[in-house]
Amino acid sequence: MLEKDCIQTRGFKNVEKDGKIVGFQVNIRSLYYRGVWLSQLRPATIKVNGEIFSGDQISWTINDSTYTQEEMAKLGDVHWGVLDLATLTVAKEGGLESGSYDIEVNYTYSASYFPPALDTVLGMGGHKKTLVLV
């Protein structure tokens, strides 16, 4: 079951690879009623207790497929639906320690009914939530 907010409480965790903590994940949902094609999304940033992550530090997993933000710009045939979770994985050596974190996720998207100059105005940026990593 999805929560009403963009940033989901469930799924906030560290990511382990080959026995090492290599980053962390946070789940989000699209609040746009039509969903968006991945090529409509503009690169996201994630702020965790004031530390900003962007660009190739963030990958998106939607419908069990993982994409870099650069790859997403070229994917006009992959849709992120309003009922689908997106897992944002942030590369951060050592991940995050247990505790409470102020999370902010910012992203925008283009819409076919607005001119490109408005891309920076549209979107679902600025979502904030305090999450606890156990």
Closest CA to 32 of 107, 90, 134: 107
pLDDT at 34: 87
pLDDT tens for 5-20 read 999 999 999 999 999 9
Amino acid found at 34: R
Closest CA to 6 of 27, 36, 29: 29
CA 37, distance to chain mean position in Å, is 14
pLDDT tens for 27-36 read 999 988 889 9
Query: Does residue 54 sit in helix, strand or coil?
Result: strand
pTM: 0.88
Amino acid found at 21: I
pLDDT at 52: 97
